[in-house]
Structure 1
Amino acid sequence: MGFPLGTKKSLRNLAVIFAQLNIQDMALLKELVDIYFSVRFLKSKERSELFLKKSIDKRRRIVSKGYLKKNYRESTETVCRKSFSSFVLCKRDHYTKFMESFLGNPDIAFDSPEMIMLKNGNSTTVVRLTVDGMDLVIKRYNAKNIFRGFRHAFKKSYADRSWGAAHYLINNGIKTARPIAMKEMRIGPFRGKSYLVCEYIDGINALDYFIDPAFKDKKIMAQKVVGIFNQLELLRVRHGDMKATNILIYYNNPYLIDLDSMVIYKNNVLSNRAHRKDVDRFMRNWSEHPKIKKMFSPLS
């Protein structure tokens, strides 16, 4: 008979399992930890819980970092094309000759007579268009002025940030529009205009869903939305623009969209503060609808 593993090694192994489970509820995680501790008769419970939480966070970061790297380079999942004037990433299963040609000049989407304009703003232009038989959303990030364009030339593009954010959420069990491709216009290391291509989700936004009396299972859906917030808190993720219109209800599941401002924190204090801002912004959607607001009371 072998000897039992030491406490820290046991907790590290447990962290690997918990990190893969995508547990969305902190209370459930604590309950599982309590059961494990009672079976193992572990002492210094408070310190062990803290060590386990840090180990889970570390494991999640390691797994997510590896997954993200695969989606920023040539891999079995991703096609990567880099030149002096552009940087292109595309899901390999969608990289057809037609898609390759489209990514060569994605501006044609915004001039197409078949496109449906979803947003025409100063900073972003968003259209819906069928490309190679796929129902897609193409988002173009525009520079508002020369100064802003120069400043962003040295930063990650919004398309890059959204591409990474979408993969991070998907890898951690949060539903979002599947990213198909992204393109940055470049001059060497300097970034210019950028584009994001993702699947179109034919859903209804959460604001319209919860206000419309025709939908009956609102309490169940509210619990699922609360689950997204719990998961984001667990992952130390701030969405940054938590309007109810940035949550789509599709096939009885909430999808989080518009990830341009998403941030992943390492610091608990900053993460908690940012999470509170996300919650406060979301709750303001229901300021004139107290009955709906009550459905999200677990967030308060």
Structure 2
Amino acid sequence: MAKKTNIEEVKSEIELTSESNMIEALKYYVKTIPISERMNERAVVADFVTNIGEEKLLSNLKPPEVGDYSQQITSRMANTDTQSRLASVKKFLGFLHNNELIKTDLNIPSHLRSKRILTNKRTKNKVSTFEEGPKLTRSRYKTLIGQLDKLNKQKMDLAVDIQNAAADGDVRENAPLEAAREAQGMVMAKITDIENLMRGAIIIDDGSQSLLKGKINIGTKVTIENQNNKEVHSFQVVDFHEADPLNSKISSESPVGKAILGKAKGEIVSVKSPSGTLEYKITSSSNR
């Protein structure tokens, strides 16, 4: 008879699902850890669970909450302690992710980031900064997942086309085969681009978890008024990876984006342009 793994042994005692809460997940997880490590790991993960909320359902765990915890820890602890604590919490989140107890499409464990120390070459001063992946709005992330599904289906269909074309004759002079291979290469390149963009992406959960509540942030929908000619422009501020001016999505790295980040409704900002400095009044902003 095959020996049960630690997880299987725990499952026979406790039933854990995505509708279980954080404290139940902690009790479940601790029993999968080697006894010699349990006391320390339980204390560290318990601090994370308390911070997030013991009664929060696993299915409701959001990336911004995990990111906020990272910033809180790194701001109050030494770097070596931070690395150790975040590594323990990341194991816990990885356990939940791998067992599909939290939303796997949000890549939640990747949002637990530590500070890295950068040295200014001129001053030799050390500056702490967060390692960050691309910031994507939730709607953009879902769109990318849909595109990825379609591309993977196309890849499978093209593999069949290539197999059929190769069976038709001389592969050296086989136009259908070459066309299918070329199409497959383009599809694979698109898949790679999307996967690289999504890997480690920070999902912006509009409004509720913003560190700048009431302020304009990535994901905020904004309306501004040109103070000279009174023209009105409405758009959403997004990470540069998903900027699409034709669909009213401007990059946070653009002149206007930089000017309005962190600002609030009613404020007037100055934006440098080839024709001179322009002033815009923020007439509305919404994170919904």
Same fold (TM over 0.5): no
More strand by share: 1
TM-score, normalised relative to structure 2:
0.28
Quick check: which has more Rg, 1 or 2? Answer: 2
TM-score, normalised relative to structure 1:
0.27
